[in-house]
Chain A
Amino acid sequence: MTPASRNLWIELAACGAFLIGLIFFLVAGYYTAMFTIHGMLPNEPPIQVGKAVFGRRDLLVAVLSASVPGAAAVAAAWGLLRSLLAEEESGDE
């Protein structure tokens, strides 16, 4: 594998990681939006998940469950691109 093709694969992996992170953030945003909209509706029954009533704390758990992996994926993408940049800079020196 040549350096150029290796860098291409790394950039593709970074883009893929970024997209995956974005999807996770969208899911987290979806939970938040649905909960907020549900709260604004008059006389709506409480959201039930199994035996548990889905409250704010449960929303926090759901949002964090989606956004922590999303943040990890975005951080991975950033780290990959940053290290490519650092390698290019050290190669130029």
Chain B
Amino acid sequence: MKLTKVIAFLLCLATLAGVMFCGFVAFTGPRFFPDTVPTFPPFDKLSQGCLGLLMFVCILPFLLVPGGAGLALWLFVVRKQEAADDLEARAAPVREGSFQSRLDALTTRLLERGDDVTALTAEIPIWTRDLDVPRQNRLLHLLAECRVDGSGCGGTSPVTVRPAETEWSRWATRALDLGLFAVATFCALWGALVAYSFLGSNLGKNLPAVYDPLAAAAYGSGTCLTFGLAALLGGLVLRWMIRREERRRRQLAAARQQARDLFLASCQRRIERLLPEGDRSSAQTKAVAERIARAHLISTLPELDGPSKGKLIAWLHAGDFLSRLALAGVDLRGAALSATDLSGANLAGVDLSDAILDGVRLVQADLRGSRLQGADLRAADAAGADLRDADLRQARMHRCNLRQADLRGANLRGANLWQADLTGAEGTREISA
């Protein structure tokens, strides 16, 4: 939940608690403690009810100030932000769809040009017209990978990452909610204790004679219960806000996921089109197609989250595209590939830092020079894998099967090899116990 929303809520709650408390004091104080009522004109002519109302009306404007500020914050800031976020998320699939159509047309154009792409530099403003900055940069990234020089292209400002607004963590919001319920419980118990102390124990006798113990008990416990009631209402409202926020977050995540799925499906479709099975075109055409396919892959990966990256790689391996696309240097950090079969995959030079590879099958896979720093390789089957010069620092490799694997030159500093099977593995002499 955004911090502005929480601040607006707290301001409104402060007003509610203040109004309830002052209302209680103003209307019950003169009744319970008549000797505290002023006896000088013009107040001496007023009834207790009128006096209470007068007191309440005088203090009410001050109490409404924080509530007014909270409401204004809600109406003019929070609602605008939510509407903008909702609009952006809902428009994402539509915008992504039209952007993918543009990429399809650009792919066709790149195939037509073949190796001679210098003329495309002049067309860049046409291709980037009406695109938002992130999509312009994605398109320019794709063109750069296809060796089209877009550096002199005007109108494309560098991506300025808007600093994310402070997100009041879910934990803190729930803690605030529980805290309000706890305060309500405490106030209820304390109010009961105050009533009992005045009515049930001898301590009430310490009051001045003019005070009625029953009135004092009612007044004392009433003030506690008023705060307790305000805290309870605040807690209930906050819980409702949390549930609404969760629902909204799920809807926005679903919309973003839909855009991401569209993006992923379009990339797969384009790669299938560029690298068809049984392709009989010339070697030069194939090289151009492979370069364009690799460019699409490289420009797509930064936009994907871990599970989507994992899906894409699994699909590329299943379709035998990995052997045709040189993935050296490709960023697959954080890819989720749990229990995926990547036997024989060519992943040489790939950056798989912090990837989730538990239970993955990497039998005979080529992982030369790959970066697997911090990767989760628990129970992975990498029998016979080529891990020469791989960076496996801090990798978690419990119960990993590394039989006959080639670990020469691999950096295993800090790697956890508890119960890993290194039978017949090469390069194990350098591994410290």
In the assembled complex, the Cα of A80 lies from the Cα of B197 at a distance in Å of 32
Interface flags, A11-27, vs B, CB<8A=1, else 0:
00000000000000000
Instruction: For chain B, residues 165 to 216, give those with C-beta under 8 angstroms from any C-beta of chain A.
Output: 171, 174-175, 178-179, 182, 186, 189-190, 193, 196-197, 200-206
The residue that B206 contacts in the complex, of A50, A60, A69, A76, with Cβ under 8 A, is A50
The total of chain B residues at the interface (CB under 8 A) is: 19
The CA-CA distance from A25 to B204 in the complex, in Å, is 24
Known contacts: A52-B202, A57-B202. The answer to whether A79 contacts B189 by CB under 8 A is: no
Q: Which residue of B lies closest to A59 (CB)?
A: B201
Contacts A51-B206, A68-B189: A61 and B175 contacting too (C-beta < 8 A)?
no
**A55 and B203 alpha carbons, distance in the complex (Å):** 10
Contacts of A87 in B (CB 8 A): 171
Q: Report which of B178, B190, B201, B204 forms a contact with A55, defined as CB distance below 8 A.
A: B201
Cβ distance B341 to chain A, nearest Cβ, rounded Å: 24
Interface contact A58-B171, CB-CB below 8 Å: no
- Picked from A58, A68, A83, the residue with its CB within 8 Å of the CB of B201 is A58
User: Which of chain B's residues has its CB closest to A60's CB?
Assistant: B201
User: Nearest CB to that of A61 among chain B residues?
Assistant: B197
- The residues of B that contact A60 with a CB separation of less than 8 Å are 196, 201
Establish whether residues B171 and A83, one from each chain, have CB atoms under 8 Å apart when the complex forms. Answer: yes
Say how far B70's CB is from chain A's closest CB, in angstroms.
25
The interface residues of chain A lying within 8 Å CB-to-CB of B189 are: 68
Contacts of B202 in A (CB 8 A): 49, 52-55, 57-58
Query: Are A52 and B186 also in contact (CB < 8 A) when A65-B193, A83-B175 are?
Result: no
Question: How many Å lie between the Cα of A61 and that of B195 in the bound state?
Answer: 10
A79-B182 contact in complex given A51-B205, A57-B200, A58-B203, C-beta closer than 8 Å: yes
A55 to B174, CA, bound (A): 43
> Which interface class (under 10, 10 to 19, 20 to 34, 35 or more) fits A?
20 to 34
**Least distance between A41 CB and chain B CB atoms (Å):** 20
Shortest distance between the CB of A71 and any CB in chain B (Å): 9
Given contact pairs A61-B197, A79-B175, A68 touches B190 in the complex (Cβ within 8 A): yes
Q: How many angstroms from the CA of A42 to the CA of B203 in the assembled complex?
A: 25
Q: How far is the CA of A53 from the CA of B175 in the complex (A)?
A: 43
Compute how far the CA of A50 lies from the CA of B209 in the bound complex, rounded to whole angstroms: 13
Least CB distance, A20 to chain B, in whole angstroms: 14
Within 8 A of B (CB), among A35-68: 49-55, 57-58, 60-61, 64-65, 68
Docked complex Cα distance between A78 and B206 (Å): 37
**CB-based nearest B residue for A87:** B171
Q: Which residue of B178, B186, B204 is within 8 Å of A79 (Cβ)?
A: B178
Cβ of A72 within 8 Å of any chain B Cβ, yes or no, is yes
A75 and B175: CB pair below 8 A? no
CB distance from A35 to the nearest CB of B (A): 13
A64 to B190 alpha-carbon distance, docked (Å):
9
CB neighbours (8 Å) of B175 from chain A are 79-80, 83
Q: Which residue of A lies closest to B198 (CB)?
A: A61
A52, chain B: closest CB distance, angstroms: 4
Closest to B202 in A: A52
* Measured CA separation A69–B190 after assembly (Å): 9
- A68 touching B193 by the CB < 8 A rule? yes
A51–B205 CA distance with the chains assembled, in angstroms: 6
Question: How far, in angstroms, from A54 to B122 measured CA to CA in the complex?
Answer: 96
Q: Which residues of A contact B204 (CB under 8 A)?
A: 52
Q: Which of A49, A50, A55, A72 contacts B182 (CB 8 A)?
A: A72
Closest 7 pairs (CB-CB, A-B): A52-B202, A50-B206, A57-B201, A61-B197, A52-B205, A58-B201, A61-B201
A-B contact pairs, 12 of them (CB 8 A): A52-B201, A54-B202, A55-B201, A57-B201, A57-B202, A58-B203, A61-B197, A65-B197, A68-B189, A72-B182, A79-B178, A79-B182
Residues on B close to A: CB < 8 A?
A: 171, 174-175, 178-179, 182, 186, 189-190, 193, 196-197, 200-206
